[in-house]
Amino acid sequence: MSDPSVPELILASASPRRRELLRAAGFQFIVKPAEVDESPIDQEPPRAQVSRLAVAKALAGAKENPQSLVLAADTIVVLKGQIFGKPKELAEAKEMLKALSGQTHEVITAFCLLGKNCPKPIVKPVSSAVTFRPLNASDIEAYLALGESLDKAGAYAVQGLGLSLIKEIQGSLTNVMGLPLQEVIVALEKYLGPRT
């Protein structure tokens, strides 16, 4: 018999978007963000980087919560092989948005499950293609003034007014938001059973 004081599922992420998506999918969970070193490794391919970080977060979460199933994730933006993480300041965010203007980039989110009933990390990267409309200087300045850029990979928030920058999305919208919900639901139900 399971201990009711032990959460069945832990989301090892501080992201409000991931929390909202997982809750909307009908899962009960506890949020316990995992702190890991997210420094890039030279010459590491984008899918390898995002998968490595998702696994590292899941490992950290599972170490602290060995009786629970841990879900962790990492999201990056990739343009022509260059990885765009979270900008540290508005000047960096401005350069990212200028580079993305009128271009199609890739958003990769890798999620990882580890813990109860899942003793080895299960990691899956999911990709979506996002095309920005051409942006002029005033478009970029107006968006930066909204304050959405600094904690988002690629300096925009698709779930916010960043959607106005986008011409087209091919693939999963929730993946661009930070959690590919369709794939996550299938994976979680394999280990947790159907949602009640």
Q: Name the residues annotated as catalytic.
A: 74
- Look-up: residue for tokens 């059973």? 193
Closest CA to 34 of 15, 50, 51, 7: 15
| CA 82 distance to own-chain centroid | 17
Backbone φ and ψ for 28, nearest 5 degrees, come out as: -95, 135
Question: In this structure, what is the dihedral angle of CA atoms 85, 171, 121, 31, given to the nearest 10 degrees?
Answer: 70
> What does the CA dihedral 111, 117, 119, 121 come to, rounded to 10 degrees?
-10
Using CA atoms of 16, 26, 129, 100 in order, give the dihedral in degrees to the nearest 10: -10
The answer to whether 59 touches 118, Cβ cutoff 8 Å, is no
